[in-house]
Amino acid sequence: MSVITPEEFARLRDVRAFQPELISTALAARRRRPVLRGDGRLFIIAADHPARGSLAAGGDPMAMADRYTLLERLAVALSHPGVDGVLGTPDIIDDLAMLGALDDKVVVGSMNRGGLQGSAFEMDDRYTAYDVPTMLDRGIDFGKALIRIDLDDPATASTLSSTSEMVTAAAAARVPIMLEPFLSRRHGGKVVNDLTPDAVIQSISIASALGGDSAFTWMKLPVVDEMERVMASTTMPALLLGGDSGEDPDERFASWENALGLPGVRGLTVGRTLLFPPDGDVLSAVDIAARLVHPSIGEATTAAAAQELGEHALKERA
């Protein structure tokens, strides 16, 4: 289903070439909302994987390579009333702002994307995207940082140090920042995250203490075994991350539903799993997840969103 017309994409390209200052204007003009409202839960669509050279989804190693397809799928997801916002690097966020897709959405800026997938320096997760001053200037609502901790790699020390500085800066600016910690190691030349409950708890303990002020720190955590024990290791609000889109969808949704009921869990931050579902139906996948996060969403609300998408597509073909 196409929700962005060729003319809209053409205008986006022209703005980037001839009037780039309009991008900041579009961000400043978007209708903003509180980070938390209503039921106090968040459903965020993640789209920061390409910035690390990670383009695979499911069995397709280049699924996220076509920027137009990715933006289409993001627009479909963001049209759902149960989706609270989007997580992305500046290139993604700027595109969505110019396409008018960010009104009444929480915008989460992805910050450290320097640890490129498969590189010799992958554990050196430098801050190469958003910083706190830019997020304040552009009206970005939330920050996000990846923290992979490899006890055998000296580059981890640099990541921890720079993340500590960023957490302190975010707190001083009163910008919430979600930390995504893992204990990681290299196995066969590939970085692998340890998803045992003890490892996840240890990573939370390390990440929670970063920075001079923890008041605005959130956690972004995988759904693993013994989630009750995992969530008992922190008082910080947590969003659950999605997982691989190759997993069984029914099992994945069931695991999310169980974890969403735990104290401290405030919602989901999911990307490829929903943007590239096995059956290709983005809106249906997003709808299932949205109902898990926001159970009060009604059939009429979802039907209205689907109808609006259909009308947009009809106008394009007319």
Please tell me the predicted confidence (pLDDT) of residue 295. 95
Please tell me the predicted confidence (pLDDT) of residue 18. 98
Contacts of 190 by beta carbon, 8 Å cutoff, 6+ apart: 118
* H or E element in which residue 267 lies: strand 265-270
Q: What is the mean pLDDT of residues 271-276?
A: 94
Residue 302 in this model has a pLDDT that exceeds 70 = no
Eight-class DSSP state of 60: B
Tokens 């049209």 sit at which residue? 79
β-pairing, 85-88 vs 42-46, is parallel
Which is more confident, 189 or 15? 15
Q: What is the mean pLDDT of residues 147-175?
A: 96
Residue 255 in this model has a pLDDT that exceeds 50 = yes
Residue 183 in this model has a pLDDT that exceeds 60 = yes
- How far CA 289 is from CA of 69, 182, 299, 310, in Å, comes to 21, 24, 14, 21
What percentage of the chain has pLDDT greater than the value 90? 86
For all residues of the chain together, what is the average pLDDT?
92
Please tell me the predicted confidence (pLDDT) of residue 68. 97
Confidence band for 248, pLDDT divided at 50, 70 and 90:
confident
Please tell me the predicted confidence (pLDDT) of residue 198. 98
Residue 276 in this model has a pLDDT that exceeds 80 = yes
Q: What is the 3-state composition of the chain as percent helix, strand, coil, each rounded to the nearest 5?
A: 45, 15, 40
Residue 312 in this model has a pLDDT that exceeds 50 = no
Q: What is the mean pLDDT of residues 106-127?
A: 94
pLDDT tens-digit profile of 68-101?
Answer: 999 999 999 999 999 999 999 999 999 999 999 9
Please tell me the predicted confidence (pLDDT) of residue 297. 85
Please tell me the predicted confidence (pLDDT) of residue 249. 81
pLDDT tens-digit profile of 136-146?
Answer: 999 999 999 99
Domains of the chain: 6-317 (3.20.20.70)
**Two tokens at 39?**
């039921």
pLDDT tens-digit profile of 12-28?
Answer: 999 999 999 999 999 99
Tokens 């960010």 sit at which residue? 102
Tokens 């340890």 sit at which residue? 194
Neighbouring CB atoms inside 10 A of 7's CB total 9
Rounded Cα gap, residues 148 and 95, in angstroms: 28
What's the pTM? 0.92
Map residue 41 onto helix, strand or coil. Answer: coil
User: How long, in residues, is the chain?
Assistant: 318
Residue 301 in this model has a pLDDT that exceeds 80 = no
Q: What is the mean pLDDT of residues 33-39?
A: 97
Neighbouring CB atoms inside 10 A of 214's CB total 15
Confidence band for 314, pLDDT divided at 50, 70 and 90:
very low
